[in-house]
Structures are given as C-alpha cells and as structure tokens.
Structure 1
Amino acid sequence: MSTALVAAGLLVAAGCGGDDGKGGGGGGTVAGFNPPKIAPLQSLGKGEGQVNLVAWAGYTENGSNDKSVDWVHPFEKQTGCKVNAKTAGTSDEMVTLMKTGQYDAVSASGDASLRLIASGTVAPVNTALIPNYSDIFDDLKLKPWNSVKGVAYGVPHGRGANMLMYNTDKVKPAPDSWKAVFDPASPYKGKITAYDSPIYIADAALYLKATQPALGIKDPYALDQKQFDASVNLLKQQKALIGEYWSDATKSVQSFKSGDTLLGTTWQVIANMAKDAKAPVATVLPKEGATGWSDTWMVAAKAQHPNCAYQWMNWIVSPEANAQVAEYFGEAPSNAKACTKTTDKKFCDTYHAADDLYWTNVHYWNTPIPQCLDGRTNVKCVDYSAWTRAWTEIKG
C-alpha cells in the first residue's frame, strides 16, 4: 500500500458494502424492492475505443501517481479501449456522476449500489460475458448490495473489515469487544476515534444487536424506528468519549502515532501504515463482529461504451490486475487466483482473503432503505436520508 495513494485521496468516505446479517449470507432478495426491468447485455461486440469510469482513488492507476503502478495501459493495449477515469471522493458523488449518463461503469460501494439499482441508473450484469467472474470468491457473489432477487448487478472488486485498533502500550488489557469504544466509564475518554460517516450508525446497531437482544436487530442496516433511535442514542452518548471523528487515513495514522488517539475504528491498510510509522498499535475483530465494505463494478443502464465496460470489468478482476489493485489500495482481492500474484506472498493472509470464517463476522455496508433488508414486511425501516440527518445531530 503506497502512502502516496493515501495522500492522493484514499478517503473512501461514506461507504464502500451490509447484508442479511452475515458477510457470507443472503441471496440479495429484499421484500418489496422492485427495481426497473432492464435487460443485461446479451453478447459482446467490438470495443467502442474508449470507456468512461467513475472510481475510488487507486482503482484506475495508469502510472501517473507511481510509475511502477499501472494496470490501465496494459488494458488499453490489449483491448483498444482508452480509459477515461473520474475519481470520486464519496458515494454520493458517485451516484450524482452516474446519473449524468456520461459514464459507463462505476466502482460502487454498498451505500450507493442500491440507490443506483433502484433509480435504473445501472443494469443487471451478464456474468457469462465476464470469464474471470468464475474465479471470484463465492461469498462475494449475489449479495444484497450487488444483486436483487438472484440477479447480479455487478462484479465484486475487493473488500475489507472495519477493525478495532488500539495502542498496545496504553490500552490494557487488550480489548476484544466494541464495549471499549462505547462504555461511558471508559478510562480513554477523549482518546477514542470513530469513522466520520452516517454509515457508522450501523456499528452502534451491531453492538446493540449483541448486547441488547430485546431490540431484535438482525441486520445493522435494517433498523426500524425503535432500533434506529436506540443506535442514535448510543452514539450521542459516545460523543462524550470521542476525541475526533476520522475520514482521512493519513490523519488517522498521525493521531495514533502521536498518542492523541488510543483506540477506535480503522481499516487494515491504516493499521499497516501506522505500524510502518512505528506506532505501537494492534487490531482485533471484536467478538460482536464488525461492519465492513465490499466494492462492486457496475455498468450503466445507458452505457455509451458497453463492450469496453464489460472488457474493463473482466480485466480489473483478472488475477494479475486484481492482485495489483488490492495490494496497492490495501484490501482483500475478490479473485481467488489473485493471491498467487501478489508481490507480498503473505498479503492474502494479512487481509484474510480466503478466510471464510473471518468474513462471516463482517457485516458489509449496505444502503438502508424503507423496505427492510432483513426481510421484515410488517414495519418500515429508516432510510439513508434519515441516517444522514441523524449523523449531523450526533456530531452536534
């Protein structure tokens, strides 16, 4: 993982995947959620000469940031499709850009994907036209953030968990529960950090799922009003413990290194950077599980260059390219064969790429919608716009 990448914009804010409660579960069916009927591409034709992409920073590297990191030019040479990439800083920006109709594909995150599907902005994907799809880990396929009723709407790209990181010199005993960041009596008051995004409400919901079973929370992204209010109240109580909310990976590393922050949520890539910076930190996947993210390449319903878009999706999840982007960005690759192609031969072990049991405890980010993602039909769930308003209130 390159520090230059972070400086270039590895903020990946507001959401990169949620599910039916477990990382490995679900078939994507949401009761009452019926997106527009759009036919997927039936056959591949000749490439149109270019493809316009919306992507997270670090997903479309062409050597301009680091001469040794380039999987775009080899794609262009092989396919004749010139890549025109627009880097987006948030999921909201991705949704807005895709709705202009100027882009062919997007590396959508879980809190954007259902919005894109519901609006008819993206089309189902014909996976038969993507040979490398067969090598993608099964527990990433046909999930609630990249499919609807068994129909695939995208190609999984990579994933990661939101870990609990702590200062090994100051935080003792080592924590094994999210209680460490929610306990009002915490001795680390003012030294705790939390992810700065409305989707962090799901972290509170996940903790309540384990500690207050009477609330009946099954999926941290499917909250009825009572469950939602309990989660928001927990975060309002936590506010007194928070030293800072983070969205910038570089600043998070600096805060842990300086000792201003002693524990809180993080990504594995940030933990690795902090260790490289000689910060005394370690990470743990708490006993309650964790939230996480899984990114998906989706194709525009009205793509002007659909053939090149499909060729790009096949390329970016090929073993070689998927290994390069995963290692550069700092995430688990989606293609199982990518693990044999990484420069660091222990990379996939570090990121738990093939550890099915590990991912069953990761609840990937998803888009909260009124149709409850946990399958309930007798109540309405709180949608993402309300999550956004509540987050503003929580932070004050």
Structure 2
Amino acid sequence: MRRRFKTVVCGFIRGGANRRGVSRWATPAALAVLLLCFLWTHTLADSYTPRRSVLRVLAWPGYADDDWVRAFEKRFHAKVEVTFVDSDEALWARMHSAEPQPFDVLAANTAEIERYAHAGLLSALDLSRIPNRHWQQPYFQQVAKIRGLVDAGRTYAIPFTYSSMGLIYDRKQIAEPPRSMRALWDPRYRGKVLDFNSAQHNFSFAALALGYPDPFHLTPEQLRTVARELVRLRRNLLTYYTLPEEATEQFVQHHVALMFGNYGTQQVEQLRHAGVDVGYVIPDEGALAWLDCWAITHNASNPALAYDWINTMLEPEIGKQLTQREGLANTMTPVTGDASSDAAGAGPHLVWIQPVESIAEREALWRRIKAGDRLERFAP
C-alpha cells in the first residue's frame, strides 16, 4: 500500500512538471493535498494491522489458569487480563473501584450473583450464545431451580464449580472424624485451629453449629449470640486465612489439627499434595456450600468475547482440568451424594449460601471480633 502510494505521488509530481523542470503543482494548496493523502494512506495501511480485543476477567484463583488464557487468546485473537480476588468482600470492592476500564466477566457465588443482579451490575444472559451448557449435568442446566441465578425470568449467571465448606482435620492428631462444627471450639485444639476470614461465612456456619434453622437470616438477638460464639472461638485459633495456599502453608508449618475449609475439597487436594494426611467431613448439622458462576457485567466493553469466555469455560476438558488441578467439582461430572443430584437445590447436609439479613451489621461485628474486642463488650 505504501509502495503504491509512493509511485502515485511521484507520478503526480512528474506529470505536473514543465519543460524547465519546475513543478506547476508545487503550491501550498497542492502540498497540503499531498500531505493529507500521505497521512490518509498511512492510516489506511495501519488499519490492516490486526488489533486484539481485550477481555477483562475478575475471578478466583484456579478459575483462569495461564494455559487456558493462552489458548483462549490464540483461538479468539484476543488479550485476556485477569484479576484475582480472595474474598467476597474483595470481589465487591473490585466491582465498585474506580477502574479505568470495567470488567467484562466475573465469577461469583449464587448469593453474590443475586446481590449483584439486584444492584444492576450484571447483564441478563442470552443462553443460546452458550451452547456448551448442554455438557452440564441436568440440575445445573435448570438455572431457574437454583436460587440467585434467575430474576423476573432473566438469567444472570451460569454455574461453573462448587464445593461444600466442611471440616478438614489432621488424621495424626484427630483419630476419629469430628461429627460437629462444635469441634472447632474443643479446648483440646487450642492454638491449632484455622478459620476463614469472612464475616458472612463465619456467622452462617456458627449459626448452623448453634442449631439455628436459617443461618442466613438471623434476628438481632441471634446475631449477638453468634458474635459471642465467634469471640470464644478465638481462644482456639492459630490465625485467620484468606487464600487456600495460605491455609496450606499455615497448616503444614504449625501442625494445625482442625480447619474450617472454606474452599472445601480444593484445600484437601492441596494439603495432600503437600504431604499432609488429612480427612474431610460434612458435619451432622450440615455444611455451607457455594456454587460459583460466570456472569457478564452490565457495562462490559466486549460482551461478545465475554460469551466466548463463558462458553469455553464449560468445555468438558476445562472441567476435567479444574477438578484434577484444584480438587473442585465441575458441573459436567456427576458426583455421588452431592448437590448435583438433588432437585431441591442441596445435597445431603449441604446448604447453598444465600444473601444474609445484613451484610453491614455482620461486617461491623466481624471487625470487632478480629480486633480482639472482649466477650463482655458483646451484650446479650
């Protein structure tokens, strides 16, 4: 293109020369025309250079591995920018931060999806643009039966992976599997317990341990009772953790006996790879369970590419690798006795997490608990 332009310009100048070799076209106006033509041609030539679209992904560790990202970029001639988070609170903060460019697609649990949809942060999905849904188990295809995914007939997210949040214990220190979440408070394990750093999940699992029928909608009195129980739990705690890798390091280094497994089987897999002989149980009173889903943001700059991402994440090979690498269940492979086989939305002793009565109040109490407020400061 540029070579041809040079020939045309030279011919134009030569054709305009008089017998004395002086160009009849070398006037300011003619030169301006030539300059504009030159700039236009360079712009046209540059437009033939392919520019990759950018997809911005907000997700949890293990949901966007490097090889998956590279394969996606090559397949769709795109660039993928991944931002990882380590808690629901961090996810919410990221979605509300002053990012120069918005995120296009995110992964969140069903309770958060419901919250985000009600806040107008998500786009309703066109399910016909996600054909790989047909690989999923029937339960996960019936999105209307899963609380938080459908509102007013519109679907806002597609299931991706899930896990229970049970108890992980060191078999060498605890011979008999613990039967209840109350084992976390057992004085025999003082200084040997790990807990996940989350207001929502701590209040909910402690409510289950106390026998409350609805751990997600607590009365003010129940909130204060749970808060006192979480203060008492501090006596046994080594520390709080956020990421599963952090928990594994603490478990190994400090010979932890018992842990609230927020990441469930993913953490069991990591600990066993680290050489720890651990067991995993669902307590008799039940265990919280999360179902993480993919969704597209309401202000996505590249929704078409976001659909491609979600559809790719539902390929059977991705699901298989997710399970092999992270120890997480995928929505394509049936697992005996778990949530995928129960039409009511939860398998035996599993309770899907839901939006809670007051996020602000739980977080305010949690900050006081973590800061070391004394038990008597939490009035009955």
Q: TM-score, normalised by structure 2?
A: 0.72
- 1:259–1:77 distance in 2 versus 1, CA, 3 Å: closer
For residue 279 of structure 1, what is the aligned residue in structure 2?
276
For residue 224 of structure 2, what is the aligned residue in structure 1?
229
Amino acid at match of 1:97: R
TM-superposed CA distance for 1:271, in Å, is: 1.9
Q: Does 1:386 align with 2:374?
A: no
More displaced stretch, 78-87 vs 312-321: 78-87
Where 1:187 maps in the other structure, the secondary structure is helix
Alignment of 1:96-111 (within 5 A): 96-99=93-96, 100=99, 102-110=102-110
Alignment of 1:1-396 (within 5 A): 49-62=53-66, 70-99=67-96, 100=99, 102-110=102-110, 112-140=112-140, 141-142=143-144, 143-183=146-186, 186-199=187-200, 200-209=202-211, 217-258=212-253, 260-266=255-261, 267-336=264-333, 356=342, 359-368=347-356, 381=357, 383-395=358-370, 396=372
Kindly indicate whether the alpha-carbon contact (under 8 Å) linking 1:275 and 1:281 is maintained by their aligned counterparts in 2: yes
Where relative contact order (Cα < 8 A, 6+ residues apart) is larger, the structure is 1
CA distance in 1, matches of 2:94, 2:188: 45
Question: 5+ residue gaps in structure 1?
Answer: 1-47, 63-69, 210-216, 340-347, 369-380
Higher helix share: 2
Amino acid at match of 1:129: R
Q: Aligned-pair RMSD on alpha carbons?
A: 2.7
Q: TM-score, normalised by structure 1?
A: 0.70
CA deviation string 1:152-211 (max 9, x = no partner): 21011101111211222222433121121135xx322222222121121111011123xx
Kindly indicate whether the alpha-carbon contact (under 8 Å) linking 1:290 and 1:361 is maintained by their aligned counterparts in 2: yes
CA distance in 1, matches of 2:88, 2:132: 26
Q: Which has the larger radius of gyration?
A: 2
Kindly indicate whether the alpha-carbon contact (under 8 Å) linking 1:236 and 1:394 is maintained by their aligned counterparts in 2: yes
Kindly indicate whether the alpha-carbon contact (under 8 Å) linking 2:122 and 2:295 is maintained by their aligned counterparts in 1: yes
Where 1:359 maps in the other structure, the secondary structure is coil
CA distance in 2, matches of 1:167, 1:259: 12
Kindly indicate whether the alpha-carbon contact (under 8 Å) linking 2:102 and 2:299 is maintained by their aligned counterparts in 1: no
TM-superposed CA distance for 1:320, in Å, is: 1.8
Question: 5+ residue gaps in structure 2?
Answer: 1-51, 373-380
TM-superposed CA distance for 1:247, in Å, is: 2.1
CA distance in 2, matches of 1:282, 1:181: 15
CA deviation string 1:224-268 (max 9, x = no partner): 223322222221222222232222423422443345421121222
CA distance in 2, matches of 1:164, 1:103: 34
Kindly indicate whether the alpha-carbon contact (under 8 Å) linking 2:193 and 2:237 is maintained by their aligned counterparts in 1: yes
Where 2:128 maps in the other structure, the secondary structure is helix
CA distance in 1, matches of 2:105, 2:175: 47
- 1:131–1:174 distance in 2 versus 1, CA, 3 Å: same
CA distance in 1, matches of 2:270, 2:226: 31
More displaced stretch, 189-198 vs 95-104: 95-104
Q: How many residues align?
A: 309
Amino acid at match of 1:153: Y
